A and B are shown apart, each in its own frame.
Chain A
Amino acid sequence: MVDFYENNNANVHRGVHSLSLEATEMYEQSRERVANFVNAKEACEIVFVRGTTEAINLVAYSWGLNNLHEDDEVLVSLMEHHSNIVPWEITAKICGFKINYVNVTSDGILDVKDFENKLTAKTKIVCLSHVSNVTGVTNDIKTLSKIVHDHGAIILVDGAQSVPHMKVDVQDLNIDFLVFSGHKMLGPTGTGVLYGKKELLQNMVPFQGGGEMIKDVVFDSVKQQCIVSWNELPWKFEAGTPNICGAVGLAAAVKYLEQVGMDNILAHEQFLTKYALNGMKNLSTVSFYGPTDLSKCGIIPFNIKGLSSHDVALLCDSYGIAIRSGYHCAQPLHQIFQLQSSARASFYLYNTTEEIDRFLEVLTELQTI
């Protein structure tokens, strides 16, 4: 990114000067790298956005406002991050469609029977996390996607917690929309991706208007109005000057992850999770939520008896250990677990067993409070 700003910084798809052409080349090469990373058929199926939240909002507005009507239903699970609930609640108030929520069992697993029961002929879209950001539970997207398509609906998959940690192949999983964030996968903040099947994106209206996303803006002097036509994919959805350097940084992160190998990353995280769980299970005042087997990604939600999750996080912070506390933007799941909040330890490819040993020492010290 430093190299980009020092040597290639210019706006994209605008100028004919060399610097602009270089920047455009780098920006579009970044899109191709991301497209290959998730095995999209074409690079034009990749839209750069600010993050997962913006990607879901884009779909909720651009696809939802034109495809969802009063008698329609949207299926959302109760394990979702707020960013996969709130956009649908907002657009439901505009369009009048109904949102059905799929139950999650007390151990944090998607209730597949409830999923099938609530998936009706009226369901137009299913919005589901690939991996829960609270428990690390991984949903079987391939199976669920088939069920969804058999009912004539489409599926949006929140890949914020899966794409950074495992190989995600949109064609193999038959995903209609996949959304994820750059900052969760070693990329810069303010970057994210919406993958959408070309035929879906083509039939959607733009999310925002401005430069770049238009083909023509022709003033009709008789009608006294501008006749606007949209640009081609994916630029139709990238109004204004995009986060060019962010996209270049995201592509660099993708390249690094590919070099390490997604299977290696997943295996490393699962090893660390097992290592941490084995240590934590020896601490008598620690409670866990969700499954504690290897079907999950590197996330351990927990509480310590007699302490708020924030106390746990603040004490860890005193030792330079960063863990999250609170709802993790997933309040409905905490209602299911009957929790006021939880602490969450999470691991990525850069974490080590030595760091977990230190974490366990701090947790042991917390037992004495």
Chain B
Amino acid sequence: MSSAVADYIARIEGTCGAESDIIVVLKFDKKDQALEKILKNATLKNKIADIIYDLTYEKYSFRFYASGKIIFRGIKNKQILNQILDNLLL
């Protein structure tokens, strides 16, 4: 992950449970800026009340929450996640 992208991110955590989802927690003061970039680079599938954004990028689906948290599904490899974040946030 590039340092410019890392600057958006407060923490990355694996979820507890068999799903093995990954939650990316954005820095609170950067979340709106991050959302703008993500909406440019990913495909918006659905939006609910400016709170939930269902998105896809390449073959990966993810959900952005207005609270500044993104949940990625089906990504087992941290390098792939870093690459996706680079592509979404640079």
A residues in contact (CB < 8 Å) with B: 308-311, 314-315, 317-318, 325-329, 334, 339-341, 365, 368-369
A318 and B67 contact, CB distance less than 8 A = yes
B residues in contact (CB < 8 Å) with A: 15-19, 21, 23, 46, 48-49, 51-52, 54, 63, 65-67, 69, 71, 73
State how many angstroms separate the Cβ of B60 from the closest Cβ of chain A.
15
B15 and A317 contact, CB distance less than 8 A = no
Given contacts A310-B71, A311-B71, A315-B65, contact A341 B15 (CB under 8 A): yes
B63 and A314 contact, CB distance less than 8 A = yes
From B21, B48, B51, B52, give the contact of A310 (CB < 8 A): B21
- In the complex, 25 of the A-B residue pairs with CB atoms within 8 angstroms, ordered by the A residue number, are A308-B17, A309-B17, A310-B17, A311-B63, A311-B71, A314-B69, A314-B71, A315-B51, A317-B69, A318-B65, A325-B16, A326-B16, A326-B17, A327-B17, A328-B16, A329-B16, A339-B18, A340-B18, A340-B19, A341-B16, A341-B17, A341-B19, A365-B49, A369-B48, A369-B52
Assembled-state Cα–Cα distance A325/B71 (Å): 13
Assembled-state Cα–Cα distance A318/B65 (Å): 7
Assembled-state Cα–Cα distance A339/B48 (Å): 27
A contacts with B: majority SS: mixed
State how many angstroms separate the Cβ of B38 from the closest Cβ of chain A.
16
Assembled-state Cα–Cα distance A329/B16 (Å): 8
B contacts with A: majority SS: loop
Given contacts A315-B52, A368-B48, A369-B48, contact A325 B67 (CB under 8 A): no
Given contacts A365-B48, A368-B48, A369-B52, contact A314 B67 (CB under 8 A): yes
State how many angstroms separate the Cβ of B21 from the closest Cβ of chain A.
6
Q: Which residues of A contact B54 (CB under 8 A)?
A: 369
State how many angstroms separate the Cβ of A340 from the closest Cβ of chain B.
4
Assembled-state Cα–Cα distance A216/B73 (Å): 58
Most chain A beta-carbon neighbours within 10 Å: one of B15, B48, B51, B71: B15
Q: Which residues of A contact B66 (CB under 8 A)?
A: 318
Assembled-state Cα–Cα distance A283/B52 (Å): 20
Q: Which residues of B contact A339 (CB under 8 A)?
A: 18
Closest 8 CB pairs of A and B: A341-B17, A326-B16, A340-B18, A326-B17, A318-B67, A310-B15, A314-B65, A318-B51
Assembled-state Cα–Cα distance A339/B15 (Å): 14
B48 and A317 contact, CB distance less than 8 A = no
A341 and B18 contact, CB distance less than 8 A = yes
Nearest neighbor of B54 in chain A, beta-carbon distance = A369
Assembled-state Cα–Cα distance A369/B54 (Å): 9
State how many angstroms separate the Cβ of A287 from the closest Cβ of chain B.
15
Q: Which residues of A contact B15 (CB under 8 A)?
A: 308, 310, 325-326, 341
A317 and B67 contact, CB distance less than 8 A = yes
Given contacts A311-B71, A315-B51, A318-B51, contact A340 B17 (CB under 8 A): yes
B19 and A310 contact, CB distance less than 8 A = yes
From A317, A326, A327, A340, give the contact of B65 (CB < 8 A): A317
A310 and B18 contact, CB distance less than 8 A = no
